[in-house]
Amino acid sequence: MVGFCFRAAAVEPPSDGWLEVEVPGVWEASTASPELRNHDGFAWYRCWFELPGSWREHDVELYVEHVDNCHEVYVNGFRVGGRGAFPPQFEDGVGPARSYLLGREFLRMGAVHTLAIRVYDDGGQGGFRREAPALVSGDQAIHLGGRWQIHAGDDLSWRMRVDGMPAFTFREVGARDSLGHEWESSPLRPRLAREALRVPDDLGVDLLLSEPEITQPVFLNFDERGRMWLVEYRQYPHPAELRIVSRDQYWRNVYDKVPPPPPHNDLGMDRISIHEDSDGDGVFDKHSTFVEGLNMVTSVARGRGGVWVLNPPYLMFYPDRDNDDRPDGDPVVHLRGFWLEDSHSIANSLRWGPDGWLYGAQGSTVSGDIEVMVGDVRSPPVHTMGQLIWRYHPEQHRFEIWAEGGGNAFGCEIDSRGRIFSGHNGGDTRGFHYPQHGYLRKGFNKHGPLSNPYAFGYFPEMPHHSVARFTHTFEIYDGEALPQDYRGKLFGCDPINRTVPVAEITPDGATFRTRDVGNALATDDEWFRPVAVRSGPDGYLYVCDWCDNQVGHYISHQGLMDKSHGRVYRIRSTDPSYLQPFDLTRYSSQELVALLRHPNRWHRETARRLIADRRDDKLLPELKRRVRGEQGQFALECFWAVNLSGGFDEPWAAETLGHRDPYVRAWAVRLLGDMPRISDRIAATLAELAGEESHVEVRSQLASTAKRLPAGQSLPIVRELIGRDVDREDRYVPLLVWWALESKCGDEADEVLTMWADSGLWKGRLALEEILPRQMRRWAATGRREDLHRCAQLFEMAGSEEATGRLMAGFEAAYEGRRIDDVPARLIAALKEAGGGSLALQVRLGDPTSIDAALSRVSDERMGQVERLELIRVLGQVRPREAEGVFLDIISQTKESLVRQESLGALAGFESPAIADRILSLYDQWSPDEQAAAQAMLVARANWVRAMLDALESGRLDRLSLSIGTMQRCGMHKDPLIKERAAKLFGDMSPANDAALQREVARIKDVVLSGDGNPYEGQKLFRQSCVKCHYLFNEGERIGPDLTAYQRHDLQAMSLAIGHPSAEIREGFENYTMVVDDGRIVSGVIGDRDDRVVVVRTADGHSTSLPRDAVEEMVVNRQSLMPDDILKGWSEEQIRDLFAYLRSTQPLNN
């Protein structure tokens, strides 16, 4: 190594199995012992070093790189870090140099130190594959290349210092710049990281906590004494002592057992720590631990005489009646069944709601079977799939799903009005607003459908301008310690872009929209990863910084996670003031009521929680007097306190339903819905309110509460809300009203039908445009004869042509993609009386005359293209025998390319060998898009694949015209002869190994950085190669991810997505292969699906609808629909041009 030399002390012969080897180098190449040449598994390296006195004034770092396969480092017996993970949950940690800060507490200048490195080799070569470790301080370094000791096996005692045996003592100093290491991003020291943070001129930021005091903070809140409670998620990403028995491509794991709860649990590394500013100077100077050894803990909440801990799969309660921060005994399990498939998504963000329930979130790639199991109470498990907000009542032992859907919910915000929000792991939004019983958009392909197949709609994310992903959690600030302009603003956590964005959040009917106004924190420090934000007693905001150079845990990040860092920052005013120590438990109940006026939300929430803990009914007269005489926030706070003190009943509800503050009215409606039952008299009051209420959020809550009531009480409320045309264009209310009505369309369907007998209900716009089409679709979709009779009765009730048309649209939507069988005579008559519906519907009903008419129209070149395409699609789904010949004539004769492509797709539903013969005879005459459609069709059936292989072998079909996807799908058929012939023709079509693809990713990065690109030429390349699957700047298709809000500025992310697209397949864009009961194999991205139909979008851009019951097998492919070699044959200039366009921040001005 140039610039370095080392001097070893007199060599002493190794003993006790230790051998001498050269570092760097793999141990299989060592001549020290034959047993190392074939050794896989554990081994330990060790050497000795001495530091010069001149290093005393600087940090000392140890750099270790490319140790095959994972390692951890000890200095004088102290663990200083590691990379990868050891069995039984092995993760590869090979990669660029990782730096480890060597703490001054165990370093002495001039003394000899023992360096021991524990290594695990999973197979192949083990050891130091590139450079030897190096010690670095400032611009100097000690290179540790040369003779080391090695010992096969694993014994933690080998980490200890060995006195009297400094066989290889490295001490010579050289220049850091001469090291040959491939440097990886390293975390800034805490002080420097704080200095690197940028804040607006009117804000300041403090570093409060950092390693080694804390690591991996993921959640924080404050107790009634103003102390910070911090969850340190150090066990992430895998539970302790569980073995992974399987893992899917989204890294959803199946473990060998359900971990038991404490005290019988396997000890993990998680802990809940407490941090206190003991003298009011703004510095957290006292630190303690409430409980440690936890295993996947995500959040904590104090209250009800102890501490609630969310430690999936359990929600546990640690009693601590004397508040001494030591549990009074073992935890009591209240809930069980929050499963652990993905530690990025497990149940999280526990917090108290203003109603006395505990609320939390569940992320997207986990499931649940949650059951109450406290004491003698047992409840049937509630099955969950994917993202949602849930709640639990600790005294009543009731568990509920509050609302389902959203992003990968890892956050639960409850604002000052009690509304519930969570963030999103996608772009173009800051998150979702969750009304009670709402169904929200989710990644249906990856996370499963909504639990209600008759939802017929869902709420999207809050509208926002285009912005890169993502903000997974946020707080809506309500305090006065920050400048006034920040009150009511949303403060988010964006760990990818390393910012704490600030956004306006403004009402949009019954929900909200957002707009960014700046960043509260931003930095160029690649390790800054804000993951939680919460306001504190002082009115300032506190931010958990995960502090890692990445925040993923897919295969491309495996073994690269850092567990040794973590920080907490405080966002404050520029002239901060801090609170002196206090203890709200010493406040009288009257003093707590006074705190409900406090301008800082934290004080109101904490006072409310203490009032709930005390449940002092002596407060009720005073609280009710306050509610009656006040309005605004204080009236609402006192109303909540009445409920928390046990004073909410029907007489109080009847009074407050007429309160002048709309949020008091809304909460009276909401709490009535939480009661086990209500009287018909109060239900009638709710119906009256539904007809008169002027505030949209109250009407929204009326719809949610109506869903919780029996039909006799619910439907009068629904009937009034349907008549409120003021809500016709609201983004939330129409669907909430529909969901309330739909919940009665099963066992209580006759009562619903009776409601529709009121002809006046059919005149409103909300009824006609939003409710009636869904009502018809609901009953038509079941296919049950009694429901089809109800469809007929709806047609008979329709009193206008428009109403009939709306019903017909709903009926047709129910049968999109499938034929209609066994239709009752009454419904046939009603359909005929209603005009018969569209020609497409008549084709689905199997009417011979209509089928003939449709076949005639699709054959007529004079017909409009849109109508032809629709009818071809329907005929392809219904598959009348006569259609095969018509489609064959169309692909032979039509001059319209899209019509030919759609007809090729429709022919896939037929089986004749003549189809393949016709296609192959015409193939050379067609455009590339038409050939792609032909290939997608030919690979669908085994007999057509054989015909295609015949054509290839005879030379009639050019192999170069086939896509890689086509070649790969030939091998998906089960016929071994097809597989053998395909292998001979195409060679090995298995995906390239990960190492080769990572090299391609590195090559792409190097090419892009080697020169400038022309974005205008890149736009042309995008239109040629990408636009059929990707959308960018209002151009393209959405088979693949929308690139407009993608992290296109991140060269590493873009290079990975293009060079190795299967490394991380974004949710919603997974490539499926389906085996259909007629023998077809269909591959593509699922565009839509419900309990009746699956719509598949194939790589050629076309959609195929399949009846759900016809799909015999549905498998998620580990291979992306986008081929790995998409840049094959491209010049370096073309690659630079494409990236120049992809990284453009705005559309080009052409």
C-beta atoms surrounding 292 within 10 Å: 15
Q: How far apart are CA 949 and CA 985, in angstroms?
A: 8
DSSP character string of 676-694:
S---HHHHHHHHHHHHH--
Residue the block writes with tokens 């120049």: 1140
C-beta atoms surrounding 974 within 10 Å: 9
Close Cβ partners of 1143 (under 8 Å, ≥ 6 residues apart): 1048, 1049, 1051, 1054
* Helices and strands counted in the chain (H then E): 32, 47
Burial class, 430, CB count within 10 angstroms (exposed 0-12 / middle 13-18 / buried 19+): buried
- CATH superfamily placement of domain 190-573: TolB, C-terminal domain (2.120.10.30)
Question: Burial code of 1003-1019, b = ≥16 C-beta within 10 A, e = fewer?
Answer: ebbebbeeeebbbebbb
What is the model's pLDDT at position 723? 98
Residue 169 — φ and ψ, nearest 5°? -105, 115
Are 359 and 414 a contacting pair, CB within 8 Å? Answer: yes
Question: Burial code of 696-723, b = ≥16 C-beta within 10 A, e = fewer?
Answer: bbbbbbbbbbbbbbebebbbbbbbbbbb
C-beta atoms surrounding 1134 within 10 Å: 19
What is the model's pLDDT at position 2? 30
Name the DSSP letter for residue 771. Answer: I
Sign of CA dihedral 338, 340, 342, 347: positive
Q: How far apart are CA 352 and CA 651, in angstroms?
A: 26
What is the model's pLDDT at position 868? 94
C-beta atoms surrounding 795 within 10 Å: 21
Q: Mapping DSSP to helix (H, G, I), strand (E, B) and coil, where does residue 247 land?
A: strand
- What are the per-10-residue average pLDDT scores of the chain (1150 residues)? 32 65 87 80 94 86 84 90 82 75 77 93 84 89 92 90 68 82 72 97 98 96 98 93 73 83 89 98 98 97 98 98 96 96 93 99 93 92 94 98 95 98 92 98 76 95 90 96 98 96 98 98 95 98 93 55 90 97 98 98 99 98 98 98 98 98 99 98 99 99 99 99 98 99 97 97 97 98 92 96 96 83 86 89 89 95 92 91 95 94 92 93 93 90 93 92 83 87 80 64 82 85 76 70 64 73 59 74 71 69 72 68 72 87 70
Q: How far apart are CA 352 and CA 1028, in angstroms?
A: 48
Q: What separation in angstroms does the CA of 242 have from each of 119, 257, 340, 832?
A: 21, 7, 11, 63
| Structural domain spans, the chain | 19-178, 190-573, 915-990, 994-1142
Question: What are residue 1073's DSSP bridge partners?
Answer: 1083, 1115
Are 791 and 779 a contacting pair, CB within 8 Å? Answer: yes
Q: What interhelical angle do 749-756 and 785-797 show, nearest 10?
A: 10
Question: What are residue 473's DSSP bridge partners?
Answer: 493
- Residue 652 belongs to what H/E stretch? helix 650-656
Q: Do domains 190-573 and 994-1142 have the same CATH topology?
A: no
What is the model's pLDDT at position 1046? 61
DSSP character string of 47-68:
EEEE--GGGGGS--EEEE--EE
Tokens linked to 760:
């006046």
Q: Is the bond preceding 495 in cis, omega lying within 30 degrees of 0? A: no
What is the model's pLDDT at position 924? 94
CA–centroid distance for 637 within its chain:
34
What is the model's pLDDT at position 552? 67
Farthest-apart Cα atoms in the chain, separation = 105
C-beta atoms surrounding 802 within 10 Å: 13
Are 966 and 944 a contacting pair, CB within 8 Å? Answer: no
Q: How far apart are CA 238 and CA 1076, in angstroms?
A: 37
Q: What interhelical angle do 897-907 and 865-878 show, nearest 10?
A: 10
Q: How far apart are CA 521 and CA 501, in angstroms?
A: 7
DSSP character string of 121-137:
E-SS--EESSPPPEEEE
Residue 741 — φ and ψ, nearest 5°? -70, -45
Q: How far apart are CA 1119 and CA 1121, in angstroms?
A: 7
What is the model's pLDDT at position 10? 34
Q: How far apart are CA 134 and CA 190, in angstroms?
A: 23
Residue 1034 — φ and ψ, nearest 5°? 65, 30
Is this model's pTM higher than 0.95 or not? no
Tokens linked to 655:
């009074």
Half-sphere exposure for 374 (CA within 13 Å, toward CB): 19
Are 519 and 467 a contacting pair, CB within 8 Å? Answer: no
Name the DSSP letter for residue 768. Answer: I
Q: What separation in angstroms does the CA of 679 have from each of 638, 642, 653, 676, 706?
A: 25, 21, 12, 11, 14
Strands 169-170 and 41-50: parallel
Are 936 and 926 a contacting pair, CB within 8 Å? Answer: no
What Rg value do the Cα atoms of the chain yield, rounded?
33
Tokens linked to 273:
């720590």
826-834 long-range Cβ contacts below 8 angstroms, 24+ apart: 826/789, 826/792, 827/788, 827/789, 827/791, 827/792, 827/795, 829/792, 830/791, 830/792, 830/795, 830/796, 831/795, 833/795, 833/796, 834/795, 834/798, 834/804, 834/807, 834/808
- Residue 113 belongs to what H/E stretch? strand 112-121
| Length, in residues, of the chain | 1150
Burial class, 53, CB count within 10 angstroms (exposed 0-12 / middle 13-18 / buried 19+): exposed
Q: What separation in angstroms does the CA of 988 have from each of 585, 716, 782, 938, 1073?
A: 71, 67, 47, 21, 20
Q: How far apart are CA 354 and CA 416, in angstroms?
A: 9
Question: Burial code of 114-146, b = ≥16 C-beta within 10 A, e = fewer?
Answer: bbbbbbbbbeeebbbebbbbbbbbeebbbbbbb
Which amino acid appears at position 1037 of this protein? E
Are 559 and 87 a contacting pair, CB within 8 Å? Answer: no
19-178 adopts what CATH topology?
Answer: Jelly Rolls (2.60.120)
What is the model's pLDDT at position 815? 86
994-1142 adopts what CATH topology?
Answer: SH3 type barrels. (2.30.30)
